[in-house]
Amino acid sequence: MTTISRRETLTTLAAGGLLVASGAAHAQGTGVPQPMRPGRGGTDPGPRNLGIDRANPNIINPPATDSGTIPNLRFSFSDAPNKLYSAGWTRQITVRELGISKNIAGVNMRLNAGGTREMHWHKQAEWSYMLYGTARITAVDAQGRNFVDDVGVGDLWYFPSGVPHSIQATGSDGCEFLLVFDDGEFDEDSTFLLTDWFKHIPPDVLAKNFGVPAGNFGQTPDPRERYIFNLPVPGALASNKIAGATPIPQSFSHRMLAQTPIRSSGGAVRITDSSVFPASATIAAALVEIEPGGMRELHWHPNTDEWQYYIEGQGRMGVFAGVGTSRTFDFSAGDVGYVPFAMGHYVENTGTTTLRFLEMFKSSYYADISLDQWLALTPPELVKGHLGLDDNFVRALRKEKSPVVRS
């Protein structure tokens, strides 16, 4: 057997998912990305992980405009360790997984039918987007006012820091949602759990606090059994209303998909911040939909970093970090992206279906600056003098933002 033919033999390593393949036998045009373009690079004979390479063609073979060193701005929930419970699962991406993400952390959680995320609170504010199914959420604020609501796909909730709350799946197949916290150091294992506190209070203290005999206590379940656990699917929303309770006047839930979108040639954007969802004091968000051939326009955010979650489709993001540096990343469903404060960027649909993702910011308000609008509202001679472009370019500039564009 010749050296070439040996390389053409594929060896699958089940444990690592690595494929050893011949660069000659699997050249450009066969669906296997190669780190090469005319006059640059060369084939990769392997060993290599073809699954990862196929999902990240702009990393293995970056655009010629990429330059310099920018930290990693992408991490997938598929690479995050999953914790399995009796009634669902949970996984997280924090600063430990995505080192650049100092301001925001995210948790992806699944609750089976009736599955309940234990009554708890935490130091960070919690923002959520419902991805699948339906759930019932509850909370009580410092003034003793309560909140109960049902949420479905595309709905949001926001619980301020320190406010105790719960989540329970109400649909026949449960629910799945994204949780976002306004601190990259957040850890879902560091929340304050109801059962955990009960386990660490002497029975006589509990008796004095609640005015019942101490014999009522001492059988609190292990908190590890209650983090996500089964309860009967709750009845109608009205059945969970507390008689005589004063409701929280500022709703902790919001119907994001009910908002009228900003539509443009390449897609649509819905922006939700404290101006339309007053309770959401520390997280602003935009739901972006980009049709095939479309692109989130060249822009940057003047107030804070951007944390992204990709819901469906395929895309690539190019980020300009200044001082001659830029880098391109590929994204698909379940991935998290990050853009540090004020860095210019775009997100382009590279697939054949709608690309849908969330932009999230640790801020009470949403803000972006459009490159197109900036140039359109600057004296034309100044623009032409900088870029060496003619009047045709200047006339094409848009004075109004077009968040999603298509050529």
Band of pLDDT at residue 241, cut at 50, 70 and 90: confident
The structure's pTM equals 0.91
Q: Under CATH, what is the fold of the domain 79-254?
A: Jelly Rolls (2.60.120)
Band of pLDDT at residue 224, cut at 50, 70 and 90: confident
Q: Dump strand ranges (E) for 293-393.
A: 294-300, 306-312, 314-322, 325-332, 335-339, 344-349, 355-362, 369-370
Q: Name the amino acid, one letter, at 113.
A: A
Torsion, Cα of 18, 22, 25, 27 (10° steps): 80
What is the phi/psi pair of residue 121, to 5°? -150, 170
Q: Verify whether residue 400 is a known catalytic residue.
A: no
Q: What would the pLDDT profile of 253-273 be if each residue is shown by its tens digit?
A: 999 999 999 999 899 999 999
C-alpha to C-alpha distance for 116 and 167, rounded to whole angstroms: 6
Could you list the residues known to form a binding site for Mn(2+), using ranges. Answer: 120, 122, 126, 165, 299, 301, 306, 345
Outline where 154-233 has alpha helix (H): 194-199, 203-210
Among the options 97, 118, 176, 359, which is catalytic?
A: 359
In terms of phi and psi (left: phi > 0; alpha: psi -120 to 50; beta: otherwise), the region of 144 is left
Mean pLDDT check: name the lowest of 5-14, 117-126, 313-322.
Answer: 5-14
Task: Look at residues 358, 329, 356, 344 and name the one whose alpha carbon lies nearest to residue 297.
Answer: 344
Percent of the chain past pLDDT 70, that is, above it, reads 93
Task: Determine the average pLDDT of the residues in 56-80.
Answer: 96
Q: What would the pLDDT profile of 1-51 be if each residue is shown by its tens digit?
A: 333 333 333 333 333 333 333 333 333 445 799 999 999 999 999 999 999
Whole-number average pLDDT of the chain: 92
CATH 2.60.120.10 location in the chain: 79-254
Could you list the residues known to form a binding site, using ranges. Answer: 120, 122, 126, 165, 299, 301, 306, 345
Do the Cβ atoms of 153 and 96 come closer than 8 Å? no
Q: What would the pLDDT profile of 181-212 be if each residue is shown by its tens digit?
A: 999 999 999 999 999 999 999 999 999 999 99
Q: Name the amino acid, one letter, at 89.
A: W
Task: Determine the average pLDDT of the residues in 60-86.
Answer: 96
State the pLDDT at residue 3. Answer: 34
Q: What would the pLDDT profile of 349-398 be if each residue is shown by its tens digit?
A: 999 999 999 999 999 999 999 999 999 999 999 999 999 999 999 999 99
Cα 384 from chain centre: 39
